[in-house]
Amino acid sequence: MKSVVETEETKKENEKGKKKNTLPPPPPPPLFWAFKKIYCVRPKKHPPPPPLFFFTSPPPPPQGPKDRLDSTVISQPAIYVASLAAVEKVRAAQGQAALDAVDVAAGLSLGEYTALTFAGALTFADGLKLVALRGASMQAAADAAPSGMVSVIGLDAGRVAELCAAATSAAGPGQGVAIANYLCPGNYAVSGGLAGCEAVQALGKEFGARMTVRLAVAGSFHTSFMSPAEAALRSGLASTPVAPPRIPVISNVDAAPHSDPGAIKELLARQLTSPVQWEASMRALLGRGLGAATEVGPNKVTAGIMKRIDKAFPMDNVTV
């Protein structure tokens, strides 16, 4: 044990020492890519590989200027690349056999392109070019006619359709809204003109909605507002080689798989102006004996949706 009596002289020396020994502030945390988080399945206790891959397309976690990240020009190619990077992580961790065991794929909106690439219908490079064209065309269409999307929670599809009809009537010509994403019971996204979106939010409670949430997207996706983007995408699809997929890939437009390259191109073009039939797709797969699935893409989106369709369905995620 030491005892120290601090004199005026030692006090000054101690204060000098403190100043000398004061550490500089820590450096700022390192910067990361805005789209660093990806999810796919991590098997527990080494079960057999899951028979389905889901590819999601929600906005990634914000880690940069929000308005830039919300731009579909940036987010779409980034999500596409990140999702396929997650597939490569599965390959590295579990081997090619785990990927070969997958016997069907589905993708939500943009995710359909990732699913087609995974299934061999598109090369990575061609898929990336199409996704970049899709994002730029959709952004241009959104800039030309300001529009948006609203998530409606707590209503069945029929009641949401009635809400859309009332909101369209209240909003006036050219501002109508319609269901754009049939996700799961009680969760549907509607899309349309800004006045129509505002009317949906204003009338939501009156129609019994638990809540309405404005989505951070560039425009009215999967409606006629995207007609100019559809025309541009058709041109790109016409010059892009598409092969028959090695496994079935479920189309967002009609909730069915297609093997003919011409039909695949047509449905990818129509997807921009057609509602996403995700709930019907999942129910069809469950009806055919789907046993487990992997989600690949930013955030746990399709896994949460599936729990609303079938609570017992086993679905997991892996990050990279």
Which active-site residues does the annotation give? 109, 222
- Rounded Cα distance between 220 and 226, Å, is 7
Assigned token pair, 21: 């020994």
Residue type, 4: V
From CA 286, how far away is CA 280, in angstroms rounded?
10
How far apart CA 287 and CA 309 sit, in angstroms, is 12
Burial of 310 (0-12, 13-18, 19+ CB in 10 A): middle
| Count helices and strands in the chain by DSSP H and E runs | 12, 10
Structural tokens at position 47: 């079960």
Closest CA to 41 of 106, 86, 78: 86
Tokens for 162?
Answer: 């009635």
